[in-house]
Amino acid sequence: MNEPLLHLIHDPADLRRLRPEQLAELADELRSFILDVVSANPGHLGASLGVVELTIALHYLFNTPDDVLVWDVGHQAYAHKILTGRRARFNSLRKWNGISGFPVRSESEYDVFGTGHASTGLSAVLGMAVASALQHNTSRQHIAVVGDGAITGGMFFEALNQAGDADVNLLIILNDNGISIDKSAGALKDYLAKQRLGQSATNPLFDAFGIPCFGPVDGNNLNVLLPALRNIKNHKGVRLLHLVTTKGKGFDRAEKEQVLFHAPGTFDRQTGQLPAAKNSENRTPLYQEVFGETLVELARLFPQIVGITPAMPTGSSLNLLMEAFPDRAFDVDIAEQHALTFAAGLAAKGIKPFCVVYSTFLQRAYDQLIHDIALQNLPVVLCVDRAGLVGEDGATHHGAFDLAFLRCVPNLTIAAPMNEPELRNLMYSAASDNSGPCVIRYPRGKAATGDDSGQFVAIAKGKGRKLRSGKKVAVISLGHPGNFVAEALNTLEKQDVFTAHYDLRFLKPLDENLLLEAFSQYKHIITVEDGVIQGGMGSAILEWAAGHHFTNKVVRLGIPDQFVAHGAPQQLYQHCGFDSPAIANAVVAAHKRINNQPDSDETTI
């Protein structure tokens, strides 16, 4: 038996000491190590298994980190992390204070650019290549590994347009595994499928940009991959190597069930078996499932309803509408800007689009939201999934900013449900309202349950609700964190601390009657939200209070002015200071302050 190799590799310099014939053995060890860790500590599995050989070959042949290597998207970079000095910490992947699931510049000099969002890699590498040219460094290599899913984003083609006319040393590696997170959609998938069948050195799509193309080459076979990379390394200028890889390579079930094993959660290391699902009757549904099931119900009631998602049908549960009404559901691939303007066009002609997009990815379509939807007051329903802190995916994926960047846009209605029936009823209300665009935002994970007759009930626009009365102190919450408030206040009531609780429901328009009651009856107001404090719901309430000449003490709880790292959601709520214990502490402090200084009415910003 050969001596294990992986434990000898502390950085790519160690890797380059191996003989070429040892690399296949190293690939087996590396793939096994990834499986050992990710089966018990969930992460993105399939993409990283598919690029093990490519990762080894790139670090073996190129002088990283001086030679620039960027992964697009970054969830395929697990092998890269292991080979670049993070093997000993790999079991901390995506944990609080552990290493990130994506490349992070502050984590390693080998992570030359952060790539949590797709289609950015070529722009970044082109910028670095131009920087090298300006610095008269003509020997440095600049490599962008771009997945076939990432090239569906328009930003890739914007960069490609400039790259084709640039005099720089840049290698584009098209990692073509025939699938994004879900099955690929659109015409590009068909084009690449035809290219995979041929052995021609021409590639009309990229040839049109003046970029020489090589391949396709089997990216999981080191015997052909290494010579192909050596050959293209010797070329100068901008060039492209088309590699064909298998997502989930080397683990049978991951190869056969590629959508499921993109990020499968925990699973049996040997068989791939996932934990048994809980009985559906006793299981708390995810907000995403509530969205998907409700949209199917609404589609039966309203024939003008369609659904749109940019490449997240399974994650968002739009796949349920695709199964029930395949002609009324659209996956537009990784194209958030197009998704929103496509929805605007549909709405302009009497169709009722429900466009579901993750909060972090909605950031990419801000102009389309303003210019194409809000400015024209088109009745598009934006269902903003993964709002708030998403947990282990970390800073690149938290939905921290949507409340702040949405509330300044005219014509928008912005709502956030506290529980399952509220989400259903907000969607129903939006379906029958054609007065303008509506945003409904909700978090990742389990929905809180509530009184639900199963019948839809319309919710008046801009109307919140009072959940309990109290003495001197009131808490105003928006969305799911209202459940944290309820838990805190239930605990405090057992200690004879009675506090009012209002569920604002709508950030825009504000329920001014609700706010007037709260500020008139309670000296101290605490706001709780799962968005950034700066510019968010608490700021909106402070602005309202100032405009109405209230001087109540107001304390805002939410996400502080920082990029929050990865970790379990409960750890992140605690870190940010709006979990149930933190809310309870803020309430107790407010009561103590009032009791000690009964006549003080200053407002805290």
Q: Which residue numbers are catalytic?
A: 247, 336, 364
User: What does the block give as tokens for 164?
Assistant: 């084709």
Task: Tell me phi and psi for residue 293, to 5 degrees.
Answer: -70, -40
Cβ(113)–Cβ(70) under 8 Å? Answer: yes
Cβ(152)–Cβ(187) under 8 Å? Answer: no
Q: Which residues contact 339 (CB under 8 A, 6 or more apart)?
A: 308, 309, 310, 332, 355, 357, 365
Give residue for tokens 């003495």. Answer: 471
Evaluated on CA atoms 64, 66, 67, 71, the torsion sign reads positive
Evaluated on CA atoms 152, 157, 159, 165, the torsion sign reads positive
Give residue for tokens 């300006």. Answer: 134
If we measure between CA atoms, which residue out of 294, 328, 293 comes closest to residue 309?
Answer: 328
If we measure between CA atoms, which residue out of 197, 195, 125, 116 comes closest to residue 162?
Answer: 125
250 φψ region: left (φ > 0), alpha (ψ -120 to 50), beta (else): left
Spatial separation of the C-alpha atoms in residues 49 and 77, rounded to whole Å: 10
| SS3 assignment, position 415 | strand
Helix H or strand E segment including 213: strand 213-218
Cβ(159)–Cβ(124) under 8 Å? Answer: no
Q: Which residues contact 112 (CB under 8 A, 6 or more apart)?
A: 65, 68, 69, 70, 103, 105, 128
If we measure between CA atoms, which residue out of 384, 395, 281 comes closest to residue 336?
Answer: 384
CA dist 140 → 167, 211, 218, 233, 395 (Å): 13, 19, 26, 11, 30
Cβ(117)–Cβ(396) under 8 Å? Answer: yes
3-state secondary structure 518-539: HHHHCCEEEEEEEEECCCCHHH
Ranges of H-type helices in 349-398: 359-362, 366-367
If we measure between CA atoms, which residue out of 443, 185, 419 comes closest to residue 319?
Answer: 185
Q: Which amino acid is at 476?
A: I
User: What does the block give as tokens for 327?
Assistant: 């002609």
Spatial separation of the C-alpha atoms in residues 3 and 24, rounded to whole Å: 13
User: What does the block give as tokens for 351?
Assistant: 């169709």
Spatial separation of the C-alpha atoms in residues 69 and 75, rounded to whole Å: 14
| SS3 assignment, position 555 | strand
CA dist 406 → 174, 439, 476 (Å): 36, 9, 19
User: What does the block give as tokens for 195?
Assistant: 């290219």
- For 179, which DSSP code? B
